[in-house]
Structures are given as structure tokens and as C-alpha cells.
Amino acid sequence: MTTTFAYLGPEGTFTEEAAILYDSSITRVAEPSIVRVGAAVVEDPHTKGIIPIENSLEGPVTYSQDLLINNPTLLIEGEVVLPINHYLITKPSTSLEEIESIYSHPQSLGQCKNYLQAHFPEVEQIASLSNATAVTTMLAAASPCAAIGPKRTAEIYNGKIVDSKIQDQDNNETRFIILGHSDHAPTGNDKTSICISFKEDRPGSLYEVLGVFAAQSINLTKIESRPTKEVLGRYHFLIDCIGHRQDEILKNCFIAIEPIVDNLTIFGSYPKYESLQ
């Protein structure tokens, strides 16, 4: 059986670009949502998945965090970081002055807020479910409009690139995680992602847990909270730390944390992404 790679589609999304960057040799299958990428992996032992988990400007992708929290069998086997560049795309026949509306995913509209305010203050902004959908919707629309999307989508669907790198800040990158049925063997340069929750809403508990890591000088690269969906103000904490879960030092940390937390889930250990540039 050959392995397939389920990604957040449609074709032309940043996630597809990230999949190619991670391993272009695996056959890619577009899925319509993050939840469906997760389901594709859960249902088939030969399927891996790739989804965005965090953007440098917008923060965490909450659907992806919830997917991990709700599916303890999904493990993270890798990560990849992609620079995100946004392009203004129109039909080949559209001129800039006549643009009446601009389509994009709300997150991308947000990332190009200043550009849109400066160049298209009066133009209606329309939300799309993905950047790639924004481009195809724009191309199919009767009225003159534009879309904000990735270069790859413009190329695939023959859109005209009118302006490039229109995002407000240059340091726009997205981190993607690769989902599989097992995590990665130790490489000596690894990260581990975990999720903890507490029985009671007692912020002192988080302080105790951070103390366990601090005592062992384990560097944490991320702490995020996600609502438990039980009551306003109660959270899961998603923590990334340096090291592999098979390392003695991390094993001991987890043992020390167990009595403090209500639940500890290890999402996986995997090689820390190093940019090839």
C-alpha cells in the first residue's frame, strides 16, 4: 500500500504548498476541512495528514488544536514552517478601478488589513471558507472583483496577479503539523507537544506545572490555552517543549506532572523544523 497525504484543500492552498515542502513524493488528496483531514488519517493506516497549527500574525488555528484534543489516536510526526505571501488576484480582463468586492478567508483579509484600508477603503470585503475558494469564486463571479490568495492558486486557475506580498507584515509564517499513526523516533533535535488540563479552575496549578519544567531547565516553545467547552474560564493548556518523550529528563517531568493535572495527553515527539534557507 502506498501512503497518501490528506491536506486541507482545495488544490492551491498554503497547506498544499506545505505538503509539497514536507514531502513532494507522497500522493496528495485534498480534503474540505481540518476535521476531514483528521478523519482521513484516523480511518486509514496508510494515510498521513497535514494541517496548519499556528500563524505568526494571527495566532493558533483553533480547529487544529481542537482536532488534536478530540482525537487522542492522532499523533504528530513532524512540522514544517512556510512563509505566507498574499497576492491580489483578478480575472485577466478586470481593471483595478472597477473592483467592487474582494474575496478572501477572514484570516487573510485580517492579514492585509492596512493594505486594503490604503488601496480599497470603500470596497466590500467578502468572507470565503478558504483562500483557494476565494480565487475560484472571484473568477466565476459576474461583477468585477478581486481575491486575496496564494500565488499557486492564481497559477492553477489562470488568475491575473495584480499585486504581490500585500500582507501588512513581512514576518508572516505558518507552522503546519504532520499527523500520523505514530510519532517520530528521536533525532537529537526534537520537540514534544502535550496537552494538560486541571480538575479545578485553579491557575496556581499551571504555575506548579511550569515549575516542573523550569526545575529541569526544559525550554518551552509554546503555551496556549483552549476552552474546555465546559464552562467559560476553564482551559486546556497546549504546551510545546524541547526534547523527545523518550528522553529520561522529559519522562521524569511527565511523571512529576501527573499528580498535579487531571489529564496529560502527549500529542507526539518530532524533529524541530529547521528552515532550509
Q: Is 100 in the site for a copy of itself (CB under 8 A)?
A: no
Give the residue among 129, 160, 216, 153 at the shortest CA–CA distance from 11: 153
Least Å distance, CB 212 to a copy of itself, is 10
Give the residue among 227, 236, 225 at the shortest CA–CA distance from 261: 236
| One of 230, 246, 252, 262 touching a copy of itself (CB under 8 A) | 230
Q: Is 249 in the site for a copy of itself (CB under 8 A)?
A: no
Residues 6+ apart with CB under 8 A from 125: 101, 102, 104, 109, 116
| One of 92, 188, 203, 259 touching a copy of itself (CB under 8 A) | 203
Q: Which range binds a copy of itself by CB under 8 A, 16-24, 218-226, 250-258, 261-269?
A: 218-226
Give the residue among 7, 4, 12 at the shortest CA–CA distance from 38: 7
Q: Which range binds a copy of itself by CB under 8 A, 15-23, 72-80, 126-134, 254-262?
A: 126-134
What amino acid occupies position 268? G
Q: Which of 26, 210 has the CB closer to a copy of itself?
A: 210
Q: Give residues 21-60 in contact with a copy of itself (rule: CB under 8 A).
A: 35, 54-59
- Which residues sit opposite 60 in a β-bridge? 54
Q: Is 141 in the site for a copy of itself (CB under 8 A)?
A: no
270: left (phi over 0), alpha (psi -120 to 50) or beta: beta
Q: Which range binds a copy of itself by CB under 8 A, 5-13, 90-98, 122-130, 147-155?
A: 122-130
| One of 223, 255, 262, 263 touching a copy of itself (CB under 8 A) | 223
Least Å distance, CB 129 to a copy of itself, is 5
Q: Which of 1, 274 has the CB closer to a copy of itself?
A: 274
Largest CA distance in the chain: 65
The Cα 41–Cα 31 span in angstroms is 11
Quote helix, strand, coil % in the chain, to nearest 5.
30, 35, 35
Rounded to the nearest 5°, which phi and psi values hold at 22? -70, -50
Q: Is 169 in the site for a copy of itself (CB under 8 A)?
A: yes
Q: Is 251 in the site for a copy of itself (CB under 8 A)?
A: no
Least Å distance, CB 109 to a copy of itself, is 9
Helices 204-215, 248-257: axis angle to 10 degrees equals: 160
What amino acid occupies position 82? L
Give the per-residue contact string, 255-274, with a copy of itself (x = CB under 8 A; - = no). --------------------
Residues 6+ apart with CB under 8 A from 20: 28
Least Å distance, CB 113 to a copy of itself, is 7
Q: Which of 89, 209 has the CB closer to a copy of itself?
A: 209
H/E run at residue 19: helix 14-23
The Cα 237–Cα 142 span in angstroms is 47
What are the grid coordinates assigned to 81, written together?
Answer: 514552517
Q: Is 214 in the site for a copy of itself (CB under 8 A)?
A: yes
Instruction: Return residues touching a copy of itself (CB under 8 A).
Output: 35, 54-59, 62-63, 81, 106, 110, 113, 125-129, 169, 171, 173, 175, 203-204, 206-207, 210-211, 213-214, 219-227, 229-233, 235
